Amino acid sequence: MIMKKYTKYIIALAAVFASVGCTHFDDMNKNPYVVYETNSESFVQPILYNTRKQLAYCDYYIFGDLMQYTINTNFENSAQLVYNYVISENFINQMWTLYNQFGNAQYMLATARKECESDKGNPAMVGVALVLRSWIGHLLTDTYGNVPYSKAGIIALQGNEFDYTVPYDDQKSIYIDLLRSLEEANACFAKAQEKVEAGTLTSANFNPICDFMYNGDVEKWRRFGNSLYLRLLMRVSNKAIEESQGIISLGDEFGDINVVAKINEIYDSFLSGEGDYPVMRGIDDSARVQFSSKDSALYTSFYATTSGNWNGEAACSTLVDKMLINYKSGKENEVNPTYKWDPRYFRYFTKAMGAPSQETREYLSDYFDEKVSSLGNSLIGRYPKGGYTGDHIGDLKMDPAYAILNYDEILFIFAEAGVRTWIPMSQKAYKDLYLDANLQSILQWQVGWERATDYYTASSVEVINWMDYLDDEFDYNKALETVMRQKYVAMFWVGVEAWADYRRTGYPVMRTNGPAAMNNGTLPTRLRYPSTEAFQNAEHYTNAVNGWLNGDNNMLTEIWWSSTAESKAIRSLGRK
């Protein structure tokens, strides 16, 4: 029979099929171009770069216009006029996307903690992770108020039993954890130092390739961490004093702290260069993320933004009035003989013209050239008056270093604490701190990066002239306002800082209810939660909105640390 004859072939065939079984399926489903686990330091640079890049987008499109640094001339649609407090859903969502980086920081922290379970682990990495997480965490809560925090960003750590709905925490408890985290980070850095001294760790520093900011220098991370701690202490100080005489309980490990005492402790460390809380000691310590147009890995958010769109962001008179003194801002482009100017101005902008915020299109048309086009006009052809070419937000487009926290900021904070008499010091002492803060800010903007073009480089004479002016006009009766005004100037494009200071102190006093102002004529106290939350995180979102927001996802409810009597009173001065 044929069948018998060929049975052996059939059996052979069956054997071939049987041998190519499922045995390699697990290997087959492993991605060969990724890693399945790595060490904690591998997360640092991506978190720094991605967070600061996204934040710069928000600085440009949201916070710049919100804080009256800039006015966007290009948007035809009223839905995008941030300076009138109309903030589109697209913009609302931009800060929320930072949760991705928050998740990375959580993953890094978990990895670093696991590393520390062995003796060889470097506690400093836990510190770095905590600093990064605290940075992103405060950006989120300062923007939206109560936000997902304690259970946020951990989906990657949850294995197969994951929960993609995340509860919202109230801002006070978030701040308690932020402060606690930075205490812990400082302790971790100290512990790493001890391990090095004890010889169990060769070096506390980590691989420079993982950290373009400080090249893995853990000492600098510690100073950054404590400076961030100082920033957040100041943020909650008024509220804590009003609420509980400045006492905040950080839980079992770190106990109760007094915010004023803590600021003093940090100030002492700053003065002495010793102590438990080392902070930044010069502009070289500033936390800044360097971008580059030469390397696509380091592009800014604006690398491909057309110059037409980029040019559409004009200077706002609120800022210009503080930087160009006696300059007839606006229509005539005239220079007054007594004109004095801040050397940073032409770092920020290339045009000496400022337009007011919250005005109608018709009114603003006098400030903008609508009649002349230049290359790259993408929408309608409005430009700030004065000249046809050139960017007018300086070199923030291509090769900037965007600041996370500049050295000058801590000087401003110490000066403010001095004015408030929280840190006991003489009037001259806080004035000196104030002047130094301004000078350091100017220097920071001078040396921050190489300019591609030389529109302007301030000479030392011009810096001295401006410093003399600041010195002369300092009024001890208005010391707080002056300090906060100049801090506002210095906080240009430093994330949410200017907005946070405004909500905390009310300074600088700004008009907020101009003719075109929406949002009840109030500068938004927070951004709305993204509308996607209503779908994607429905239960927790509803709880949050029905809770502290009284049922309305608005931009008027005071967040925890901003709802102080002082702040509200000063902010109301801008509503006339």
Residues 500 to 539: which contact another protein by CB under 8 A?
531-533, 535-539
In the complex with another protein, the residue whose CB is nearer, 160 or 426, is 160
CB 553 within 8 A of CB 528: yes
Please report whether residue 482 would count as binding another protein according to CB under 8 A: no
Q: Residues 276-295 vs another protein: string with x where CB under 8 A?
A: ------------------xx
Please state whether 450 falls in left (phi above 0), alpha (psi between -120 and 50) or beta: beta
Kindly state the tokens that stand for 73: 């001339």
CB 525 within 8 A of CB 502: no
CA distance 248 to 259: 7
In the complex with another protein, the residue whose CB is nearer, 77 or 460, is 77
Q: Which of 8, 11, 36, 273 binds another protein (CB under 8 A)?
A: 36
CB of 22 to another protein, least distance (A): 5
CB 223 within 8 A of CB 404: no
CA distance 201 to 185: 18
Q: Residues of 109-124 as b/e, b for ≥16 C-beta within 10 angstroms?
A: bbbbbebbeeeebbbb
CB of 518 to another protein, least distance (A): 11
Which of the ranges 46-54, 114-122, 316-324, 552-560 carries the binding residues for another protein, by CB under 8 A?
A: 46-54
Return the DSSP state at 397: T
CB atoms within 10 A of CB 276: 12
Please report whether residue 390 would count as binding another protein according to CB under 8 A: no
CB of 160 to another protein, least distance (A): 4
Q: Residues 193-212 vs another protein: string with x where CB under 8 A?
A: --------------x-xx-x
Kindly state the tokens that stand for 451: 């300019």
CA distance 87 to 96: 14
Which of the ranges 34-42, 276-284, 494-502, 551-559 carries the binding residues for another protein, by CB under 8 A?
A: 34-42
Q: Residues 429-448 vs another protein: string with x where CB under 8 A?
A: --------------------
∠ CA 465-505-143 to the nearest 5 degrees?
105
In the complex with another protein, the residue whose CB is nearer, 210 or 230, is 210
CB of 353 to another protein, least distance (A): 12
CB of 45 to another protein, least distance (A): 5
C-alpha distance across the termini of the chain, in Å: 107
Residues within window 336-375 making contact with another protein, judged by CB under 8 A: 369-375
Q: Residues 11-30 vs another protein: string with x where CB under 8 A?
A: --xx-xx--xxx-xxx-xxx
Please, which residues have CB within 8 angstroms of residue 188's CB and are 6 or more apart in sequence?
123, 124, 126, 127, 130
Please tell me the number of Cα atoms within 13 Å of 442 on its side-chain side. 25
In the complex with another protein, the residue whose CB is nearer, 88 or 557, is 88
Residues in the chain: 576
Which helix (H) or strand (E) is 112 found in, with range? helix 99-116
Side chain identity at residue 224, one-letter code: F
Q: Which of 275, 381, 390, 521 binds another protein (CB under 8 A)?
A: 381
Q: Which of 11, 15, 32, 565 binds another protein (CB under 8 A)?
A: 32
Is residue 90 classed exposed, middle or buried when 0-12, 13-18 and 19+ CB atoms within 10 A define those classes? Answer: exposed
Which three-class secondary structure state does DSSP give residue 258? strand
CB of 275 to another protein, least distance (A): 34
CB of 477 to another protein, least distance (A): 42
CB of 113 to another protein, least distance (A): 16
CA distance 89 to 80: 9
Helix axes 218-244, 407-419, angle to 10 degrees: 30
Q: Which of 250, 325, 380, 518 binds another protein (CB under 8 A)?
A: 380
Q: Which of 8, 11, 33, 426 binds another protein (CB under 8 A)?
A: 33
CB of 146 to another protein, least distance (A): 12
Side chain identity at residue 564, one-letter code: T
Side chain identity at residue 268, one-letter code: D
Q: Which of 378, 446, 465, 554 binds another protein (CB under 8 A)?
A: 378
Residues within window 117-156 making contact with another protein, judged by CB under 8 A: 147-148, 152-156
CB 94 within 8 A of CB 105: no
* Total residues in contact with another protein, by rule CB under 8 A: 97
Q: Which of 121, 127, 308, 356 binds another protein (CB under 8 A)?
A: 308
Kindly state the tokens that stand for 196: 């090095």
Kindly state the tokens that stand for 86: 């109309």
CB of 95 to another protein, least distance (A): 10
What Rg do the C-alpha atoms of the chain give, in angstroms? 27
Residues within window 534-573 making contact with another protein, judged by CB under 8 A: 535-539
Residues within window 68-127 making contact with another protein, judged by CB under 8 A: 76-77, 79, 88-90, 96-97, 99-100, 102-104, 106-107
In the complex with another protein, the residue whose CB is nearer, 127 or 153, is 153
CA separation (Å) from 351 to 311, 336, 483, 509? Answer: 11, 16, 26, 24
CB of 210 to another protein, least distance (A): 6
CA distance 576 to 574: 6
CB of 37 to another protein, least distance (A): 7
CB of 500 to another protein, least distance (A): 21
CB of 109 to another protein, least distance (A): 12
In the complex with another protein, the residue whose CB is nearer, 16 or 461, is 16
